[in-house]
Each structure stands twice: as C-alpha cells, then as structure tokens.
C-alpha cells in the first residue's frame, strides 16, 4: 500500500514514533521491521479513512484516483492543498494505535 500522504518520510516518521512510544528497540531487527510494517499499514488505513470522511465527495474521488495512480508526490501535494490538519490527524492516529497497543499489552 502506498503511504497516505505519499511523502517518502512518512513511513519513517510513523515507525520512529511507534518505536519510541512502545520501546521496541529490544526486538530483533527482523521482528521489529515486520511489526512496524504491520502497524504502519493499520495507521495509514485509519488516516486514509479519516481524511476521506472529511473531504467533499468530489475531492474524495480525486484522492481515490491519485491513490490508484500510485504517484506519491501527487498524493502529498493533494494532502497539502486539501487537508490542512493532516499532520494532526496523522499524529492522532499514531497516538490512538499506540494507546490501544499499550492497553492491550497491560491487560495480558
């Protein structure tokens, strides 16, 4: 799956936030990469759902076409122009997933 905003730094940003928040440095690198990829996928899907829900129908259709096209730079430009609170949405979703994982790990 393409990153939601298409910016090449987004997956690194998300992964850095997760590693820091959940203290995953202790995992072997292969396991950490697998876990982070899965978590980034979930976060990207949640971000995309929130962004699409907040866009007018014509804009959500335009975004869907860009995502299908797979041009990350065009998706990033679209987000910059049409989703002014995108970084806040991204951080909220990172925090939400991290909180859910922390809660789940404490309840075991």
Reading the chain (108 residues) residue by residue, the pLDDT tens digits are 444 444 444 567 777 777 777 778 888 888 888 888 888 889 889 999 999 999 999 999 999 999 999 888 899 899 999 999 998 998 899 889 888 887 877 776
pLDDT at 108: 64
Residue 3 resides in a domain? no
Residue 5 resides in a domain? no
Helix (H), strand (E), coil (C) string for the chain: CCCCCCCCCHHHHHHHHHHHHHCHHHCCHHHHHHHHHHHHHHHHHHHHHHHHHHCCHHHHHHHHHHHHHCCHHHHHHHHHHHCCCHHHHHHHHHHHHHHHHHHHHHCC
Residue 2 resides in a domain? no
Residue 66 resides in a domain? yes
Residue 4 resides in a domain? no
User: Count of domains in the chain?
Assistant: 1
pLDDT at 11: 64
The pTM of the full predicted model, rounded to 2 decimals, is 0.76
Residue 56 resides in a domain? yes
Q: Find the domain containing 19 and state its range.
A: 10-106
């Amino acid at each position: 799956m393409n990153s939601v905003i298409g910016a090449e730094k987004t997956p690194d940003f998300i992964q850095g936030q997760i590693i820091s928040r959940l203290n995953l440095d202790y995992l072997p690198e292969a396991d950490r990469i697998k876990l982070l990829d899965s978590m980034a996928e979930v976060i990207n899907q949640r971000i995309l759902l929130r962004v699409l829900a907040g866009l007018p129908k014509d804009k959500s259709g335009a975004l869907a076409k860009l995502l299908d096209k797979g041009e990350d730079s065009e998706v990033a430009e679209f987000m910059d122009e049409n989703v002014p609170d995108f970084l806040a949405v991204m951080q909220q979703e990172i925090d939400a997933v991290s909180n859910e994982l922390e809660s789940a790990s404490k309840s075991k």
